[in-house]
Structure 1
Amino acid sequence: MALWQRDREGCPHTPRQLIHRCDAGSQYTSFKLAEHLAADGIAASVGSVADAYDNALMESTIGLYATELIKSQRPWRSLSQVELAAAEWVDRYNHRRLHGGIGHVPPVEYEANHYMESTKPQVTITI
């Protein structure tokens, strides 16, 4: 989804620019995922085992997801209903929710501003 979103917004990634961070769960340490990440030029970063601090950001996001979406809208009637609601929650989290840690703007706006600033041509004056 991250690659698709970047391509859709006209900001395709450069190989080795993106990092996939995860814990050491079997689904994240599989050869299949490693091959997929390598094919797209995404660096893998697996956290250390039994290190609560290493995974704190993701656990916080998952807790927010569970509180705001999963627990508040139950009972769920089907898996497809949960999948659609999860996709909508992630879209809102990244595109419309204001994040205080990055200046009260959505993450996509913060990222777009970052790339705009980093690609501005530098003006030099010669006399």
Structure 2
Amino acid sequence: LKVSPPTTYKGEVQASTFNKWVREIQEWTETGLLDAYQSLQACGKFSSDRAYKYYEQEVCNRGLRPALEDYFIGLYEYIFPATYRSAQRDKFDLCEQRTLSVRDYLRRLQDLADTIGGLTDSDIV
């Protein structure tokens, strides 16, 4: 079974795009049995624009070799504004069902919760 290569992440401030790219990189590196350095190289290969600039600064120019999880955290902090999570929390707190079906409203709350982190199912309900 051949795993499709990850999409290229440009550094968009969009949590769903970032999370999708992270999952694809993790799957790609695990399936390909890549070592830590090869995994970092995959991050560079499958990034462009702002995301590649971070890779270039941290890995190429500074010669850092962070663990993959630490690289993702650093990239997140580089791309997303410091106020991103609190802004998403505000959206979560103000989210109303209005004309949405229960299923769509729950999906919206779950999507927002995923961008905030640390929320339990009972927080969402």
TM-score of the alignment, normalized to the shorter chain, above 0.5: no
TM-score by length of 2: 0.30
| Greater percentage in strand | 1
Q: Which has the higher contact order (CA 8 A, sep 6+)?
A: 2
TM-score by length of 1: 0.30
Larger Rg computed on CA atoms = 1
